[in-house]
Amino acid sequence: MKRTEGDESSTLATDGAGVDWRGSASSSVTVTREERLREFYEENVLKPMIVAWSDSRTRLGLLIIGFYLLLSLVAILGLWREPSTSQAPRYLMLFENMKYPLGTTASGTDLAALIIHSTPDILLMVTSGGLWATGIAVLVGTVAGYKGGSVGRVLMSISDFVMAIPGLPLVMILAITFNPKNPILLGIIINVNYWAGLGRSIHSQVLTIRENNYVEASRTMGVSTPRIILKDVIPNIMPYVTVNFVFAARYVVFASIGLFFLGVLPYSDQNWGVTLNFAYNGGALFSWSAAHWLIVPMAAIIGLSIGLILLGQGMDRVFNPRVRTRLTGESESTASTDEKDTGMTEVL
Amino acid sequence: MSNYYVRRTLRVFATIFAVATLTFGLIRLLPGGPFTQLRAQLLRQGVPASEVDARIANLQNINPNAPLWQQYLDYMGAVARGNFGESISLGEPVARIIAEAVPWTVFVVLVSTILMFAVGIFLGSLQAYWEGSRFDKAFSGLSIALMSVPFYVVAVISLYVFSYQWGWLPTAGTVGASVEKELSIPFLLSALEHSILPIFSYTLGGIGGQALAMRGNSIQVLGNDYVRVARLRGLADRRIATRYVARNAILPMYTGFLLLLGFRLSGTVILEQIFSYTGLGYYMFAALKANDYPLMMATFLVITVALIVGVYIADLTYSKIDPRISAGGSDEAY
């Protein structure tokens, strides 16, 4: 994407997070550590949470994610039976037998147990993939954007190259090569080149941020580069990064389940994707009586991604002053040309 | 200025070169390497052991006994000439398989992506116009719901409902088995019939995201002073909608369109598998399953080149479309 240099009005510096940060730093000389922590908590945790909770979509998203966390807690604590074959009558429909509320598969495995016991691994995979993608993207994007020059060019060339490698085929080859069973490693492999597009758009945002007066002031004062990036640059892009963390996580869900469904990724226990694969190949397509075998894992996938997307939308609402000011009825126009959501990232 | 275009074009070739090198390396990463499997397979087929190496060299344009740098040069030279060797599992030249597969994939990806953008832009702009209305709220909810459904779920459900249960549409393939492969009305109709479900499932999930993006962009443009001025000037609503709002709102989505085209090419690995639609992704997956390295690497390269060209066109044309943005730009080092 192109840079929008010199477009002062478009800078993210005027965003909420930027103002917060400046507010806390200018008074840092006189306040104690405890006060600063409390201020930090109020500005960065409490207020966003209030805004988030007041929005019905974010509230729903948080509740859904909470539900999945609860499911994984149930699995970890062993509150639901482990899935095994012939533990129940075969082909029970949804809610036919309340002992097996989600029905059973062709081999008499409890579908609810299959779903519940694969939740912790999936959440772990999603989190690690999201953290990996956003972490590398922030590192590359901020350093390249702030340093500029040859460092920036080299870093951007690298991300251009990584971006040029098609995601899914690369993941398939890597999965066959490394055979990763660890969910954390799997999440990283799935998002192995997701960071490139994100890093590139962070780079173009940082290019405008670095022109700000306070960044220049820090530079002339001789503040070290890592400190400038950490203190002056990153707070400005944090909202964008948080939103994209959610989208990266959603991509992990979609890609991993899709590849499990194809049977490309290795697995030790049946998870949602493998269940879908077994149902698909086990003839669930041909009869209505086995339809629930397909529907249950699909519902699990869709539920999780709805939760993530609602959360992402809500975060956008929390962080994006454009949306926020419009909501409060102010007609202040921010003539910005930042291309935030133009599909730099992979979509499935 | 022209310097930028030259540099950008050179980078395309450099990237393609680097990816070709990467594929060469990836072949060697895979378990058993490129030759072990093939050697065992050829021996099983009854090829005399003395001829096996020659056959391998013939299949992959690489002499397995040559040093690595020699293998690398041979491989790159062959790729540069468009010679990808011969498919192990299908026994045909890889170039011919790919030439047959590419049109199907391009057709599905192009049509579904255009549809996705068209419908998304239409819905999104309507939502922006009636921001806050019941229509807007309903479709925002719908968009989020659509975004959360992966395309393969749509694919499996639509296959289940329309093909297996109701029998309206074919379950697999690109054209009917009885149809001649020539440019005729029955061929086109059959091809269309077979492509409906893949296109539908690849389009539906993407609409939501595009609609939301268009909605956001339009709302932002609508708040601009020049739109207010246009209203005050008494311009027709239609003209404001198309010339002032739509144009500026679609602009940022343009690069996204080209990039998505490339990204969606790699998604066909899953899509075409579900519909047994013999395009690039289908062969890529089949090759992966059959350890057919020449075919696998060639499909990988072709998808990559498509992606690179997409980004290249996006980069070059964006400054033409949006004159506010200059190509290249300065970058001072700090």
Are A337 and B209 in contact (CB < 8 Å)? Answer: no
Task: Write out the two tokens for A184.
Answer: 């954390």
pLDDT at position A119 is 87
Enumerate the residues of chain B whose CB falls inside 8 A of the CB of residue A57. Answer: 144
pLDDT at position B2 is 63
B230 in Cβ contact with B240 (< 8 Å)? yes
Q: State how far the alpha carbon of A299 is from the alpha carbons of A302, A304, A305, B200, B236, in Å.
A: 5, 8, 10, 20, 47
Are A149 and B153 in contact (CB < 8 Å)? Answer: no
Enumerate the residues of chain B whose CB falls inside 8 A of the CB of residue A288. Answer: 165
pLDDT at position B262 is 73
Distance CA B31, CA A178 (A): 9
CA dihedral (B195, B196, B202, B203) in degrees, to 10, reads 130
CATH number of the domain encompassing residue B258: 1.10.3720.10
pLDDT tens for residues A190-228?
A: 888 888 888 888 888 888 888 888 888 888 888 888 888
pLDDT tens for residues B269-315?
A: 888 888 888 888 888 888 888 777 778 888 888 888 888 887 788 77
Q: Provide mean pLDDT across the span A155-177.
A: 83
Q: Provide mean pLDDT across the span B157-178.
A: 77
Q: What is the least distance, in Å, from the CA of A329 to any CA of chain B?
A: 12
Domain A44-81+103-319 sits in which CATH superfamily?
MetI-like (1.10.3720.10)
Residue B32's pLDDT band (cuts 50, 70, 90): low
B179 part of a folded domain:
yes
The total number of residues shown for chain B amounts to 334
pLDDT at position B325 is 56
Which residue is listed with tokens 């029955």? B186
Are B18 and A257 in contact (CB < 8 Å)? Answer: no
Which residue would you say has higher pLDDT here, A177 or B105?
B105
Reply yes or no on whether the pLDDT at B105 is more than 50. Answer: yes
Q: CB-based contact (8 Å) between A305 and chain B? A: yes
pLDDT tens for residues A277-299?
A: 888 877 767 777 777 888 888 88
pLDDT at position B35 is 63
Residue from the list A148, A310, A334 with its beta carbon closest to the beta carbon of B144: A310
Q: What one-character-per-residue DSSP string does A32-67 give?
A: -HHHHHHHHHIIIIIHHHHHHHHSHHHHHHHHHHHH
B242 part of a folded domain:
yes
**Count of pairs with CB atoms under 8 A, one residue in A, one in B:** 189
pLDDT at position B56 is 67
Phi-psi region of A252 (alpha: psi -120 to 50; beta: other; left: phi over 0): alpha
Task: Write out the two tokens for B128.
Answer: 């922006």
The helix (H) or strand (E) run that includes residue A326 is: helix A321-327
Q: Provide mean pLDDT across the span A44-71.
A: 80
Averaged pLDDT score across all residues of chain B: 79
Which residue is listed with tokens 């996580």? A249
pLDDT at position A342 is 37
Distance CA A157, CA A155 (A): 5
Are B334 and A149 in contact (CB < 8 Å)? Answer: yes
Distance CA A66, CA A304 (A): 10
Q: Is B45 exposed, middle or buried (0-12, 13-18, 19+ CB in 10 A)?
A: exposed
* ipTM greater than 0.95: no
B96 part of a folded domain:
no
pLDDT tens for residues A302-348?
A: 899 889 888 887 776 666 555 444 444 333 333 333 334 433 444 45
Where helices occur in A148-271 by DSSP H, the ranges are: 149-164, 167-178, 183-190, 195-209, 213-220, 225-228, 234-262
Q: What is the least distance, in Å, from the CA of B56 to any CA of chain A?
A: 22
Are B252 and A149 in contact (CB < 8 Å)? Answer: no
pTM for the whole thing? 0.78
pLDDT tens for residues B179-189?
A: 666 667 777 77
Enumerate the residues of chain A whose CB falls inside 8 A of the CB of residue B330. Answer: 5
pLDDT at position A228 is 87
Residue B50's pLDDT band (cuts 50, 70, 90): low
Q: CB-based contact (8 Å) between A344 and chain B? A: yes
Taking only residues 15 to 44 of chain A, the set having a beta carbon closer than 8 angstroms to any beta carbon of chain B reads none
Reply yes or no on whether the pLDDT at A130 is more than 50. Answer: yes
A138-142, A234-238, A277-281 — most confident range: A138-142
Distance CA A73, CA A22 (A): 40
pLDDT tens for residues B231-284?
A: 888 888 888 888 888 888 887 777 677 778 777 888 888 888 888 888 888 888
Domain parsing of chain A, residue ranges: 44-81+103-319
Enumerate the residues of chain B whose CB falls inside 8 A of the CB of residue A161. Answer: 15, 18-19
Domain that holds residue B198: 103-279
Helix/strand/coil percent split, chain A, to 5: 70, 0, 30
Are A286 and B332 in contact (CB < 8 Å)? Answer: no
